[in-house]
Amino acid sequence: MAFPTVQTTGASSATATTHTVTLPATINSGDLLFIAFTCGGGSGTTVTWDNSTAGTWTEVANNTQGTNTRGVLLSKVATGTEDSAALSITLSVAAQV
């Protein structure tokens, strides 16, 4: 049995409405992928993502910590075509991630 591994992590100090998550260079068909995304803005921020460049992602969780922080968890089962794909995530207000 293969054990889960963290393939990549990242952060951005840029205050912006659009942020890009670059997926790992090697993704196999059937891999379970997660993106844990945390941003400023809290309850006043909505988060959307582009399902056309890195396949269709499902929102697993979307929670706030007051007015300061929002956390979103996305997942998908890989088709094997996601290698190094860039997923664009858009915020309703400019914030750091």
Q: Give the SS3 label for residue 46.
A: coil
Written as six digits, the tokens of 97 are 């991630």
> Identity (one letter) of the amino acid at 92?
S
pLDDT at 6: 78
**Rounded to the nearest 5°, which phi and psi values hold at 74?**
-115, 150
Query: What is the pTM for the complete model shown?
Result: 0.87
- % of residues, the chain, pLDDT over 90: 62
- Banded pLDDT at 1 (limits 50, 70, 90): low
- % of residues, the chain, pLDDT over 70: 98
pLDDT at 87: 92
Is the pLDDT score of 77 beyond 60? yes
pLDDT in tens, 10-27: 777 789 999 999 999 999
pLDDT in tens, 83-97: 999 999 999 999 988
β pairing state of 16-22 and 86-95: antiparallel
Kindly report the CA angle at 81 between 19 and 31, in degrees rounded to 5?
85
Tell me the CB-side half-sphere exposure of residue 25, using CA atoms within 13 A: 0
Written as six digits, the tokens of 11 are 């952060």
